[in-house]
Amino acid sequence: MHAEVQNLFIRIHLLHHSHEAKLTVNDMQPFLEDRGYRVGEREIKQELEYLVQENMLTSSSDEYIITGTGIQELKAIRKRLSLLCGEVVPGSSKSVSQRKSYKEPSVVG
């Protein structure tokens, strides 16, 4: 998997798990490795700090906690992932009519 794509997936994992409990790098490294990510402590720390910088997590000592902004982002991610899985995952429960009813927001540029 390309590094940029992997980093996005890792951030989603971090947001999801921070919504359930406080996170530490040491807790997340074996979890991510068990799921096939090839990642070290430094990379996990960078992704956690990125989420702090984006105001999605706060840090206290070595622990990371989700913020209100992070919760809202996680909700939006879950909606998009549900739609995406319906399109790209074989055997997904999403019907064609549900996928066709989604309209991408227009971009003002």
Binned at pLDDT 50, 70 and 90, residue 109 comes out as very low
The whole-angstrom separation of Cα 9 and Cα 40 is: 15
Global model pTM greater than 0.85: no
Res 94: pLDDT: 55
The whole-angstrom separation of Cα 52 and Cα 67 is: 9
Mean of the pLDDT values across residues 72-91? Answer: 92
In one-letter notation, the amino acid at residue 67 is T
Domains of the chain, first to last: 3-69 (1.10.10.10)
The whole-angstrom separation of Cα 65 and Cα 35 is: 22
Res 86: pLDDT: 87
Length, in residues, of the chain: 109
Instruction: Using the predicted structure, report yes or no on whether residue 103 has a pLDDT greater than 90.
Output: no
pLDDT in tens, 23-49: 999 999 999 999 999 999 999 999 999
The whole-angstrom separation of Cα 38 and Cα 29 is: 9
Distance of CA 10 to the CA centre of its chain: 6
Instruction: Using the predicted structure, report yes or no on whether residue 62 has a pLDDT greater than 60.
Output: yes
Higher pLDDT, 63 or 2: 63
Mean of the pLDDT values across residues 10-28? Answer: 96
